[in-house]
Structure 1
Amino acid sequence: MHFLDKVMELNSVLMALGFGSITVVGKGIYNQVKKSKYKTEQRFKNLEFANVALLHDKIYQQCSFFIGQGWVSVDDLENLEYLWRGYHNLGGNGTGEILYNKVKDLPNKKMEG
């Protein structure tokens, strides 16, 4: 019986080590996934910010042109609305909104050609 007790004790130690190893590996995988998720979320926020900046720039350029021109075509106004909708839905506002509303108030003319 003494020999069998030693085998059982050794088996218990090996099982504990095996379970501990699984726990350590599992925790390591969890930490890597958590870190990767955080990096992905940060990257997504940066891309979203960059998109808002690009849309703002394009809206600003187009609005400045149309305001200086004194009129806007229906097609150009529709195109500007697509840009505005994306910009607004991503949280952009401020000067972009002010300029967009000024262009919406401009007279509409048909494009020649």
Structure 2
Amino acid sequence: MGYKKGKKMDLKELITRSQAIRTRYHELERANHGTEWTIDEDLLALSNDIGNLDRLVMTKNGRYYDETPYTLEHKLAENIWWLIELFDRLDVDIESELKKFLTEKEQL
């Protein structure tokens, strides 16, 4: 199920790949710290990445000079990855909630 350039991924594949990567990170957390990160620590990491994303957007708009080694595109994708992780850890069905959210917005 590997990704091929030009191939579009569906939401299920994005979720599955994200979960597999996060499982490997949990292994590293247990090896290095004895336990997995908590949901609060995951949320803190997302918050930090949102701050990095904000600086990259400001840099793109000429309002800030960002020195991080990341690109805007990378941070956008990473923030989506963190959100998928939070949906999973909080036991919320991302597909169902996205459909519900989009339907509500379309009706407005």
TM-score in terms of structure 2 length:
0.34
Larger helix proportion of the pair: 1
Who wins on radius of gyration, i.e. which is larger? 1
Higher relative contact order (CA 8 A, sep 6+): 1
TM-score in terms of structure 1 length:
0.33
